[in-house]
Amino acid sequence: MEIKKCRYFFKPLYFAALLVLSISLFFLFSCAGNIKPGGQAENPGSKSSTIDLEGKQIIEVNAVSGSYYPGSIKAKAGLPSVLRINSENSYGCERAFTIPQLKIKAILPINGITEIEIGEFEPGARLLGTCSMGMYSFVIEFE
């Protein structure tokens, strides 16, 4: 008799806890759903390309001593593209730049801009830019 009473007492508590849990989960997911499609919070490690007046896609990356940044760049597929490398006080081996997939090699200046025509890519293609030794790199993702 005593145990039964106990159970009856706890049942509404369980129900309430379950209710609270499901409501908070609902809000959590609905919030997450709201954030995902619209809010492309600018990730400092990634950057998007721009399109110039002639319809060419300009994909910009910076070369500094010891790295290229951003490390990941989103670009559009199906557009003639130019990789614009902006060297800034670049004294390291990042100056010996390569795109292995395209068999492109270039010596970047210490300061200044280097533009390389890289052509068009399919959605889902990934292009890796790297120093000649593969120590520093960045990736362009076409979508």
CA dist., res. 93 & res. 100, Å (int): 16
DSSP label at residue 68: E
Choose, by CB under 5 A, the member of 23, 28, 51, 133 that binds Cu ion: 133
Rule CB under 5 A: say whether 113 interacts with Cu ion: no
Size of the site for Cu ion (CB under 5 A): 4
Q: Which stretch binds Cu ion (CB under 5 A): 29-37, 53-61, 103-111, 123-131?
A: 123-131
Rule CB under 5 A: say whether 106 interacts with Cu ion: no
Q: What's the min distance (Å) between Cβ of 98 and Cu ion?
A: 10
Query: Considering only residues 77-96, where is the footprint of Cu ion by CB under 5 A?
Result: 93
- Angle, CA of 139, 84 and 96, to the nearest 5°: 70
Which sign does the torsion angle of CA 74, 139, 110, 85 carry? Answer: negative
What residue spans of the chain are helical by DSSP H?
Answer: 2-38
Rule CB under 5 A: say whether 131 interacts with Cu ion: yes
Taking only Cα atoms into account, the Rg of the chain, rounded to an integer number of angstroms, comes to 26
Residues near Cu ion (CB under 5 A): 93, 131, 133, 135
